[in-house]
Structure 1
Amino acid sequence: MAKALTSSLISAFLEMMAAERGASAHTLDAYRRDLEDYVASLLAGKSGPVDATEKDLRRYMAELGAAGLAPRTQARRLSALRQFHKFLYSDGYRNDDPSSNIDSPQQGQTLPKFLSIDEIDRLITTAANHPGIKGKRLLAMVELMYATGMRVSELVELPYAAAARDPQMLIVRGKGSKERLVPLSDPARDALRDYLDVRDAFIPSDKSDGHADRPGQSSYLFPSRGKTGHLTRQMFLKMIKDLAIESGIAPSRVSPHVLRHSFASHLLANGADLRSLQKMLGHSDISTTQIYTHVLESRLRGLVQEHHPLARMAGHGS
């Protein structure tokens, strides 16, 4: 009975997250895994989410630390628990929130990993030398990632309509179904045009009309024969890992998120401001964008050394 009740509570919470907050399928899966692990711990201690105490939550967080989970992972789990318990409280399943006084684990500042401009050039040059229609698709995807800083889920789920008319700006649907406009560079537009010429070859054949060789229809910019209907995040990850090896870059240093970080870091290093970057990345809070301030600090130090009169005078000695 307890298991059935907790399962229904988790399902109700996930339905709320999807309906009211526009959570993606990937986010919902992560929440489900985290909450199922939490509930299993509660049930082992003869408790449940409706009657769990602050002590139960602290014990669970201690278990995560003892299991060796990184502080960042622990913090993500705690965030899921907090949202779950706020839901239980607001919907009347319980009359308090036992998670309200629990602090997040201390985390060190982790700087984003990014590639140099030269390394990005090598990736793009290698992709441009790939033959055939798959080469055109690969180049278009890499150029779009680096030109816009999109999340990989946003890239693979781009609708065909967003890019069908050689746009100078791309409409990207991000977290919570929020839309934002991002500008396209000329190289990205060129690569996109070349890819659109061959896009139909990636659309599954329409066998329903008796023509197995005739392309069907797809609403995605990067269609696929898989059940999602579009190229998956996992497939794109494999594509750029292979591209990294061909470019003489360690594949462990390359991922879609590294391309996103590279976009942001290179923009800031060349004069962009944090507010503009926040809008292009689709961050709802400027504090998220501030992880890139290490680039600003480096640029400001360079400006002072190059232009401040006292810095120039110091180079002459006394």
Structure 2
Amino acid sequence: MNRDLIDFFLEMLVAERGVTANTYQAYQTDLKDFMDYLQARDLEIDRVSKRDIHQYFEFLGREGKTARTAIRRLSCLRQFYGFLVQENIRSDDPTYLMQSPSLPQSLPKYLSEQEVFNLLSASEFLDDYRRSLVAKAALEILYSSGLRISELLSLRKDQIQQATKILRIYGKGRRERLIPVSDAAVKAALVLKKNDASLKSVFLFPGRNPQNHLTRQGFDKILFEVALKANLDPCRLSPHVLRHSFASHMLAHGADLRSLQMMLGHADISTTQIYTHLQTEHLKKIVQDFHPLSMKK
């Protein structure tokens, strides 16, 4: 019964929500862990009580699981039991009103504008010509649009046109959004398209096999090379850091939160509001460094 209900739920995620392969795998892994816990205690997944759920999370704590893992597991179980209620398999949701563990507030890491400009310049001077074209196009698009790395690497050639400066992106949950990109990004992408015409790939960033797009690991290697060429510590650089840099710099130059939310593809504006804290921290540092009565002086 446990396995059948989990499979039923996972099928719904694909058919109705169009989740990505990574999201599907995460749900599958979390539910399998929960199922293993229940089976070791002779419990059925459709009959567990609120107390059983509490005991499961106490067990996770004893096993040394982090608060972040517990939050993800609770989110998964909420959606799973909400689905069972919706399908009339259960009449109640045992996760209802359960409190999520709290996480310490961590601010996103981002680069300065000068560091980003250095990266963009360095991307043109890699030892391999084609890798330079890939690096230049990818970095220009990432920094001018704030795309997620999965959204960038899965871009198709026909999404980039000379006359169109707008990308149509399908993000998490297949939510569609339209994102403007810079002239420099379009120009770099068109140069790459022309260079790769003989590969006959539908992807803007083809992998070793042109039928597939470049992998995340392959892109990380290119990013590592560019960081070294720009005299930047590679440990400070990742696709997500560039996404954070895009958002932080946009906000610093006057972008409003709603527009930023739309471009980043955040379902909830509270996710976007983290960037206002970055600006607050920046202002605090300015006061600490330059105010005549600052304790640092």
Shared fold (TM-score, shorter chain, > 0.5): yes
Q: Tell me whether 1:177 sits opposite 2:174 in the alignment.
A: yes
Q: Residues 189 and 204 of structure 2 are in contact (CA less than 8 Å); yes or no, is this contact kept in structure 1?
A: no
Q: Tell me whether 1:94 sits opposite 2:77 in the alignment.
A: no
Larger radius of gyration: 1
Q: Deviations over 1:82-141 (max 9, x none)?
A: 101111221122222111131100111111111111221222122111241221011101
Q: Which residue of 2 aligns with 1:7?
A: 3
- CA RMSD between the two structures: 2.6
Q: Once structures 1 and 2 are overlaid, which stretch shifts more, 34-43 or 129-138?
A: 129-138
Structure 2 letter corresponding to 1:193 = L
CA distance in 2, matches of 1:104, 1:121: 40
Q: Tell me whether 1:238 sits opposite 2:221 in the alignment.
A: yes
Q: Tell me whether 1:160 sits opposite 2:157 in the alignment.
A: yes
Q: Once structures 1 and 2 are overlaid, which stretch shifts more, 18-27 or 247-256?
A: 247-256
Q: Tell me whether 1:35 sits opposite 2:18 in the alignment.
A: no
Q: Once structures 1 and 2 are overlaid, which stretch shifts more, 146-155 or 240-249?
A: 240-249
Q: Tell me whether 1:278 sits opposite 2:275 in the alignment.
A: no
Map of 1:286-297 to 2, 5 A cutoff? Answer: 286-297=269-280
Q: Residues 127 and 138 of structure 1 are in contact (CA less than 8 Å); yes or no, is this contact kept in structure 2?
A: yes
User: Displacement of 1:152 after TM fit?
Assistant: 0.7
Q: Once structures 1 and 2 are overlaid, which stretch shifts more, 132-141 or 63-72?
A: 63-72
Q: Which residue of 2 aligns with 1:52?
A: 48
Structure-2 change in CA distance of 1:286 and 1:221 (3 Å) = same
Q: Once structures 1 and 2 are overlaid, which stretch shifts more, 273-282 or 119-128?
A: 119-128
Q: Tell me whether 1:186 sits opposite 2:183 in the alignment.
A: yes
Map of 1:113-128 to 2, 5 A cutoff? Answer: 113-128=109-124
Q: Tell me whether 1:81 sits opposite 2:74 in the alignment.
A: no
Q: Tell me whether 1:23 sits opposite 2:6 in the alignment.
A: no
> Where in structure 2 are there 5+ consecutive unaligned residues?
none
Q: Deviations over 1:49-97 (max 9, x none)?
A: 1111212211221222223332222111110111011112211222221
Q: TM-score, normalised by structure 1?
A: 0.84
Structure-2 change in CA distance of 1:138 and 1:227 (3 Å) = closer
Structure-2 change in CA distance of 1:132 and 1:166 (3 Å) = farther
Q: TM-score, normalised by structure 2?
A: 0.89
Q: Residues 107 and 278 of structure 2 are in contact (CA less than 8 Å); yes or no, is this contact kept in structure 1?
A: no
Q: Once structures 1 and 2 are overlaid, which stretch shifts more, 170-179 or 227-236?
A: 227-236
CA distance in 1, matches of 2:209, 2:131: 16
Q: Deviations over 1:263-308 (max 9, x none)?
A: 001111111111110111011211110111123435777999xxxx
> Where in structure 1 are there 5+ consecutive unaligned residues?
204-215, 305-311
Q: Which residue of 1 aligns with 2:68?
A: 72
Structure-2 change in CA distance of 1:105 and 1:298 (3 Å) = closer
Q: Once structures 1 and 2 are overlaid, which stretch shifts more, 233-242 or 278-287?
A: 233-242
CA distance in 2, matches of 1:294, 1:153: 26
Structure 2 letter corresponding to 1:120 = V
CA distance in 2, matches of 1:118, 1:36: 46
Structure-2 change in CA distance of 1:233 and 1:242 (3 Å) = same
Q: Residues 269 and 299 of structure 1 are in contact (CA less than 8 Å); yes or no, is this contact kept in structure 2?
A: no
Percent same amino acid among aligned pairs?
Answer: 43
Q: Which residue of 1 aligns with 2:237?
A: 254
User: Displacement of 1:46 after TM fit?
Assistant: 1.3
CA distance in 2, matches of 1:289, 1:228: 35
CA distance in 1, matches of 2:67, 2:221: 28
Q: Residues 128 and 135 of structure 1 are in contact (CA less than 8 Å); yes or no, is this contact kept in structure 2?
A: yes
Q: Which residue of 2 aligns with 1:140?
A: 137
CA distance in 2, matches of 1:63, 1:226: 45
